[in-house]
Amino acid sequence: MKKFSIIIVENDEDEQFFMKEGFEASGLFDILAQVTNGDHLLEWLHTNPGVKPDVILSDLNMPGKNGFDILDAMKANRDWNNIPVIITSTSSTRSIMDKCYAKGAEEYLVKPEIFIEYEPFVKNLYQLIEEKKLAT
């Protein structure tokens, strides 16, 4: 089974902890970086030009550059525009989801309601990446 490399963009410390636990427990992903907002993601991508994640999982609402800003920045940079970005949020509002897709999100996933559901969330994410052939 292929392991995918991922960068996680999440500002909430509790979410960061439980996401990391879920990703590590699954054994399906290598976490390249865990950053707190879009500013830190772009800084990481600039300082690690030879390292491309298979996918970026980003929260939508964060201080600094948010998920919309990340989608715009990724689309505008020819070195990054082929890295799939999956947006995650607590919101299931259709207009917000549609805006993310219009800006280039590969997928939009609603976060688990309780932290212990991150392991199944991660397994579902893995299946989604495989089914859609998002990563090479």
Pick the CATH number of 9-132 from 3.40.50.880, 3.30.390.50, 3.40.50.2300, 3.10.20.30: 3.40.50.2300
Can you list the alpha helix ranges (DSSP code H) found in the chain?
13-26, 38-47, 67-76, 94-102, 118-132
Identify the band that residue 72 occupies on the pLDDT scale cut at 50, 70 and 90: very high
Q: Which of 43-57, 66-80, 105-119 has the least mean pLDDT?
A: 105-119
CB 88 within 8 A of CB 57: yes
Look at 128 and 70; give whichever has higher pLDDT. Answer: 70
Q: For the chain, what percent of residues have pLDDT higher than 70?
A: 97
What pLDDT does 132 receive? 83
Q: Where are the domains of the chain?
A: 9-132
- pLDDT over threshold 70, residue 136: no
Strand-by-strand arrangement of the 107-110 sheet? 29-35, 4-9, 55-59, 85-89, 107-110
61's CB contacts (< 8 A; 6+ apart) are 67, 89
* Three-state DSSP state, 93: coil
Q: What is the pLDDT of residues 114-134, one digit of tens each?
A: 766 888 899 999 999 988 887
Q: What is the mean pLDDT of the chain?
A: 93
Q: Per DSSP, what are the bridge partners of residue 4?
A: 29
